Structures are given as C-alpha cells and as structure tokens.
Structure 1
Amino acid sequence: MKLTIVPLTLAICRLAADEPIPGWALSRQGFFSITVTEDELSIVCPVAAVPAGVTCEQPWRAIKVLGPLDFALVGILAALAEVLARAQISIFAISTFDTDYILLKEQQLERAITVLKQAGHDLFGELTCS
C-alpha cells in the first residue's frame, strides 16, 4: 500500500457524551475527527488546539493510506494493523469516506515506518511535525 505521514502532532481527547462539541475542536488545522457515541465524545485534533484541563492522550502521529479507496476493498486496515501488532505497536484507527488513517504514539513512529517498509508498503513524507 502507498502510505504517507501526516505532518501534525495530534491529541486524542475524551469528553462526556452530553457535552457540546467545543469550538476549539473545530480548528480545521489539517486534521480533526469527532466521534459521538452514547458513552463519550472523542476528538482527534492537533495538540496545539487542546486547552488545558481536557482529558487527552498525546502526542500521536498519523499515517494515511493514499486513496481514495473503493468500499469493496477488504483487509486494508487489517493488513497494516497485523504488521504493527507483530511489532507491538498499538494503533488508533480512523476511517473516512475516501481512506483510512492509523494513529500511533509519536515515539513509535520511526519503528512503525521501519516495519511497514519491511512488509513491502511504500511510505512517503517526512517525520517532521507541527
């Protein structure tokens, strides 16, 4: 698969399910994702957008599967997750209409790149972040 590194440092935040979506989550600075369930409100956004006091895990980095991907394709995330799981690298996956993203802790990014390349995947992009 052809993959690219998203050049942002991300946070994964958890808010109560009944909280309104906060304005800071809508910064639209390159990458953000909001998921609401009956149990929680999860927000993935650049670290710089998260105000003090918000429950979150950081720093995370994202690897994007270059798309668009056809909905008939199967096993895209599974293939990547399997390679990373064998290397003991935990992931947080997000899918969009066009493609998939794998988020991983920033300190595991270089190792993830190495094992993904060894598994035959093509990675494009720099390790830089903002």
Structure 2
Amino acid sequence: MRKLVIDVAPGEYAVCKLNDGADVPVGLFAAAGDALVSVTSAPGEVSVICPADLAPADAEVEAGWRRLTVRGPLAFTLTGIIAALSSELAAAGVALFTLSTFDTDHILVKGDDLTRAAGALRAAGHDVRD
C-alpha cells in the first residue's frame, strides 16, 4: 500500500438512524458548514452521519466518533485503500465505521481510540495530520 496522507478532522461526529421514511432534518447540510454530512437511505432505515451537535433529535444516535479523511481526490482505479486501513486499525484493536464519497474515503473511530488509531496508521507508514 502506498503512503497516504490522512487528515484528522476537528470535532465529534455522530452516526444516526432515522426510522424508514423519516424526513432528513431541514437545514442539516447548511448548518454543518464545511463538516461532513452523509445521508443514506436503505431498506428499513435512513442513516445520517453528521457533527454530533447536529444529530437529529428523533434519531437513534451513536455519538463520540472522530473522522479521519484520506486526502484525495482518489482515482476510482485505486484498490485496497479501505482494506489496508481497516486491517491496520483492526490489528491495533480499533473499531471503525467507513464512508466513501466521490473523491475520497473517510474512517470514523471512537474518540477514545483516536490516539491509538493515528499511531497505528503512522506505524504503517501513513502521514496522519491533526
């Protein structure tokens, strides 16, 4: 795996579950500013990843996540990025939640695991920047 530059985003994130068919809160994208917001609809649920302070009030919320972003854009022909990073984090005992966008990949780790996660990624040769 080539050396990746990984940025640690500021702030805490939440992974949220809305009931199937629920409306995404109006203004969520605007309120987030430059922060990551993702809304995914799947059978039986709507998932929202957003800054923790913007978590929908009527959602099931798993808070306390920190975001690591692979600096991109990444070509669609690249393979194994998430596999390599998740293997390196698993070997360090760090649970994760992944999300990909058109340009790059994001990994969420619990805030208590952030130091261990960054250390494991650095030990694997990646450039982790706060």
Q: TM-score, length-normalised on structure 2?
A: 0.90
1:50 to partner: Cα distance:
2.1
Structure 1 portions without partners, runs of 5+: 126-130
Contact 1:90–1:104 (Cα < 8 Å) also in 2: yes
Distance 1:56 1:24 in 2: 18
Q: Does 1:92 align with 2:77?
A: no
The answer for the alignment partner of 2:68 in structure 1 is 63
Counterpart of 1:23, as a letter, is: V
Match of 1:23 among 9, 22, 26: 26
Structure 2 portions without partners, runs of 5+: none
Counterpart of 2:103, as a letter, is: D
Runs of 4+ in 1 over 6 A off after TM superposition: none
The answer for the alignment partner of 2:128 in structure 1 is 123
Distance 1:51 1:15 in 2: 8
Distance 1:52 1:40 in 2: 16
Q: Does 1:8 align with 2:11?
A: yes
Percent identity reads 38
SS of residue paired to 1:35: strand
Cα 1:53–1:18 shift into 2, 3 Å: closer
Contact 1:25–1:43 (Cα < 8 Å) also in 2: no
The answer for the alignment partner of 1:42 in structure 2 is 47
Contact 2:15–2:49 (Cα < 8 Å) also in 1: yes
Distance 2:64 2:26 in 1: 21
Q: Does 1:108 align with 2:121?
A: no
1:54 to partner: Cα distance:
2.7
SS of residue paired to 2:21: coil
Distance 1:19 1:53 in 2: 9
Counterpart of 2:79, as a letter, is: V
1:51 to partner: Cα distance:
4.7
Cα 1:56–1:17 shift into 2, 3 Å: same
Aligned length: 125
**Deviations 1:69-128 (Å, cap 9, x if unpaired)?**
000000011110000011111110000000000001111001101111111110112xxx
**Deviations 1:17-41 (Å, cap 9, x if unpaired)?**
2111122533233111111111210
